[in-house]
């Protein structure tokens, strides 16, 4: 059975029935088999194989970056199998503003719209003009406009269960000429008139300081999403926990940092069977010496349970957990 251990950044030992790469839509469709579960894989940095997957893993290797310099900005059509950070580095090298805040996020270009990757004040959906999709089930090819992608916080139309057989083959980006630097995030606020390269370098430095490198310590980035709760609920909690932070989403809703909840619930730096909450960023669960995928499930479930008991807030995983037959929910 083909090994998946080093194809997902959490690096739990795991296998699948079959593994095939595709570098074009034609080869993708010719490899599709309806008689077994299928999982589309990019860089495996948002996927944890918690046990052997009893199906076919299709690895996206569609490459290519086509650039068109237009009057109003730069348009890029990028193959889903390109590396995300290398794309960002390429645009920054040309001196183009637009993607630099999303430097050093691991993974592929094709996966970027799936959970609408975001960091340091920017979400990728803001720079996407359209996404080319192929349906594995029907073989149909179509494009979805930015609006049709229904981008939200770590969310998009691609995450809906009924669309799990859609493959992102290409992503169309638009970087308008009049884009300025996005410096709303605290660590970027101190920069004066930064170039794209200044922001790129600062983001990389901050990320290297805060986040574990999957090459040396297995992890899948933020394990949970930051929960959005009614403003009234937040005000009640604030009475009891005056230091509780939150960001205004709109008049009636507040986003609470999951890291703060996990830390305050007592899990920061704690471990269970080799799975730990990272001591510098408790939202990241790391594979210190995990014995099994069950250890991930047990530890994550214990965090969810405790946080719900203490704060009345239910944490939702941001990572995709893949079991024997496909996605597993907690
Ligand atoms: C250290 C670290 C830091 C991170 N920081 C951030 C961050 O700041 N912000 C953020 O948003 N995320 C972050 N992540 C999460 C992750 O990097 C992103 O979600 C990334 O987009 C995943 O890309 P991937 O190719 O590795 O996805 P995979 O794990 O391979 O796939 C993720 C999901 O997308 C689906 N998928 C993949 N490719 C395709 C395709 N071509 N078509 C259809 N479906 C597809 C998969 O089936 C799966 O459901 C971080 C992860 C790590 C390990």
- In which residue are the tokens 């471990």 written? 271
C-alpha torsion angle, residues 315, 318, 319, 325 (rounded to 10): 70
Residue 119 sits in the same domain as residue 201: yes
Residue 71 sits in the same domain as residue 204: yes
What confidence score (pLDDT) does residue 69 get? 97
Which residue's CA is the nearest one to ligand 1's atom 19? 46
Ligand 1 site, residue 134, Cβ cutoff 6 A = no
What confidence score (pLDDT) does residue 203 get? 98
Per the structure block, which two tokens stand in for 146? 């930015």
Domain boundary (35, 60, 85) is at: 60
Residue 70 sits in the same domain as residue 203: yes
Question: Containing domain of residue 33, as a range?
Answer: 5-60
What confidence score (pLDDT) does residue 34 get? 77
Ligand 1 site, residue 221, Cβ cutoff 6 A = yes
Residue from 46, 131, 161 to probe ligand 1 pocket by mutation (most atoms less than 8 Å from CB) = 46
* Nearest C-alpha neighbor of 281 from the set 228, 209, 218: 209
What confidence score (pLDDT) does residue 180 get? 87
Domain boundary (193, 210, 227) is at: 210
- Cα 253 to middle of ligand 1, angstroms: 26
Contact 89, 133 (CB under 8 A): no
Residue 80 sits in the same domain as residue 187: yes
Strands (E), the chain: 16-22, 38-41, 47-49, 53-60, 65-69, 73-79, 118-119, 122-123, 128-135, 141-145, 166-176, 218-222, 228-230, 247-250, 253-255, 271-272, 275-277, 284-287, 320-322, 327-328
- Cα 45 to middle of ligand 1, angstroms: 5
What confidence score (pLDDT) does residue 291 get? 82
What confidence score (pLDDT) does residue 223 get? 98
* Nearest C-alpha neighbor of 320 from the set 222, 229, 228, 226: 222
Residue 169 sits in the same domain as residue 122: yes
The pairing of strands 141-145 and 271-272 is unpaired
What confidence score (pLDDT) does residue 288 get? 97
What is the distance between the alpha carbons of residues 104 and 208, in angstroms, rounded to a whole number? Answer: 9
What confidence score (pLDDT) does residue 35 get? 83
Which parts of the chain register pLDDT below 50?
none
What confidence score (pLDDT) does residue 289 get? 96
Which residue's CA is the nearest one to ligand 1's atom 1? 221
Residue 226 sits in the same domain as residue 256: yes
Residue 47 sits in the same domain as residue 82: no
Ligand 1 site, residue 108, Cβ cutoff 6 A = yes
Residue 12 sits in the same domain as residue 95: no
CATH number of the domain enclosing 155:
3.30.465.10
Task: Tell if the pTM clears 0.75, that is, is over it.
Answer: yes
Point out the catalytic residue in the list 222, 254, 277, 320. 222
DSSP designation for 18: E
Which residue's CA is the nearest one to ligand 1's atom 44? 167
Residue-level length of the chain: 330
What confidence score (pLDDT) does residue 10 get? 98
What confidence score (pLDDT) does residue 201 get? 97
Residue 197 sits in the same domain as residue 297: no
Q: Catalytic: 318?
A: yes
Residue 176 sits in the same domain as residue 242: no
Q: SS3 of 153, please?
A: coil
- Residue 196 to residues 77, 104, 295, 303, Cα–Cα distance (Å): 20, 14, 41, 38
What is the distance between the alpha carbons of residues 283 and 302, in angstroms, rounded to a whole number? Answer: 14
- Cα 174 to middle of ligand 1, angstroms: 21
| Reduced DSSP (H G I as helix, E B as strand, rest coil) percent helix, strand, coil of the chain, to 5 | 25, 30, 45
What confidence score (pLDDT) does residue 141 get? 97
What is the distance between the alpha carbons of residues 143 and 244, in angstroms, rounded to a whole number? Answer: 42
Contact 92, 100 (CB under 8 A): yes
CATH number of the domain enclosing 46:
3.30.43.10
CATH number of the domain enclosing 263:
3.90.78.10
Contact 82, 171 (CB under 8 A): no
- Report the number of distinct structural domains present in the chain: 3
What is the distance between the alpha carbons of residues 223 and 234, in angstroms, rounded to a whole number? Answer: 22
Domain boundary (175, 193, 210) is at: 210
Q: SS3 of 306, please?
A: helix
Q: Catalytic: 320?
A: no
Residue 275 sits in the same domain as residue 201: no
Residue 69 sits in the same domain as residue 119: yes
């Amino acid at each position: 059975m083909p090994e998946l251990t080093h194809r997902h950044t959490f690096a739990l030992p795991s296998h699948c029935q079959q593994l095939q790469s595709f570098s074009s839509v034609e080869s993708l469709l010719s490899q599709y088999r309806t008689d077994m579960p299928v999982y589309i894989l990019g860089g495996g940095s948002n996927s944890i194989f918690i046990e052997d997957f009893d199906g076919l893993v299709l690895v996206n290797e569609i490459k290519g970056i086509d650039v068109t310099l237009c009057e109003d900005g730069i348009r890029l059509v990028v193959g889903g199998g390109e590396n995300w950070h290398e794309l960002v580095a390429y645009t920054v090298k040309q001196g183009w503003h637009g993607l630099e805040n999303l430097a050093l996020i691991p993974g592929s270009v094709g996966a970027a719209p799936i959970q609408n990757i975001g960091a340091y004040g920017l979400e990728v959906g803001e720079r996407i003009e359209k996404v080319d999709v192929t349906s594995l089930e029907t073989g149909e090819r179509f494009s979805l406009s930015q609006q049709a992608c229904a981008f939200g916080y770590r969310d998009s139309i691609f995450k809906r269960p009924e669309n799990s057989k859609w493959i992102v083959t290409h992503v169309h980006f638009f970087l308008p000429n009049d884009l300025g630097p996005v410096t709303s995030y605290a660590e970027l606020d101190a920069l004066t008139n930064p170039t794209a390269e200044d922001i790129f370098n600062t983001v990389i430095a901050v990320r290297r300081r805060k986040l574990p490198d999957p090459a040396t310590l297995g992890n899948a980035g933020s394990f949970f999403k930051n929960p959005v709760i009614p403003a009234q609920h937040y005000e009640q909690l604030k009475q009891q926990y005056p230091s509780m932070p939150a960001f205004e989403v709109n008049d009636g809703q507040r986003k609470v940092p999951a890291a703060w909840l996990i830390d305050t619930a007592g899990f920061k730096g704690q471990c269970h069977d080799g799975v730990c909450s990272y001591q510098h960023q408790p939202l990241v669960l790391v594979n210190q010496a995990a014995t099994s995928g069950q250890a991930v499930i047990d530890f994550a479930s214990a965090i969810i349970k405790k946080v719900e008991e203490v704060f009345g807030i239910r944490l939702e995983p941001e990572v995709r957990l893949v079991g024997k037959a496909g996605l597993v929910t907690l």
